Amino acid sequence: MTLKVLLLNGSANKDGNTFRALSEIARRLEKNGVEAEIMQLGNKPVRGCIACGQCQAKQLGRCAFDDDVCNRIVDKLKEADALIVGSPVYYGQPNGAVMAVLQRAFFSGAKVQNKPAAAVAVCRRGGASATYQTMNMMFEMMNMPVVTSQYWNIAYGRTPGEVIQDTEGMQTMRTLADNMAWLLKKIHADGNPGYPEREERQSMNFIR
Question: Does residue 58 lie within any of the structural domains?
Answer: yes
Question: Does residue 28 lie within any of the structural domains?
Answer: yes
Q: Enumerate the β-bridge partners of residue 100.
A: none
Confidence of residue 201 (pLDDT cuts 50, 70, 90): confident
Query: Is pTM, for the whole model, over 0.85?
Result: yes
Question: Does residue 199 lie within any of the structural domains?
Answer: no
Q: What is the CA radius of gyration of the chain?
A: 17
The mean predicted confidence, pLDDT, of the chain is 95
Return the CATH number at 31. 3.40.50.360
Averaged over 63-69, what is the pLDDT?
A: 96
What share of the chain in percent tops pLDDT 90? Answer: 89
Quote the pLDDT of residue 16: 96
Quote the pLDDT of residue 191: 84
Quote the pLDDT of residue 113: 95
Quote the pLDDT of residue 1: 78
State the angle between helix axes of 96-108 and 70-79 in degrees (0 to 180), rounded to the nearest 10: 60
Confidence of residue 132 (pLDDT cuts 50, 70, 90): very high
Would you say 58 and 29 are in contact if contact means Cβ atoms under 8 Å apart? no
Q: Give the CA count within 13 Å in the CB-facing half-sphere of 13.
A: 18
- pLDDT of 205 over the 80 cut: yes
pLDDT in tens, 76-105: 999 999 999 999 999 999 999 999 999 999
Amino acid at 208: R
Question: Does residue 145 lie within any of the structural domains?
Answer: yes
For residue 12, what are the domain limits? 4-187
Question: Does residue 193 lie within any of the structural domains?
Answer: no
Would you say 154 and 178 are in contact if contact means Cβ atoms under 8 Å apart? no
Quote the pLDDT of residue 99: 97
- pLDDT of 208 over the 80 cut: no
Domain count, the chain: 1
- pLDDT of 192 over the 90 cut: no
Which is nearest to 115 in space by CA: 8, 9, 6? 6
Q: CA–CA distance from 74 to each of 1, 12, 90, 98, 107 (Å)?
A: 22, 19, 25, 13, 11
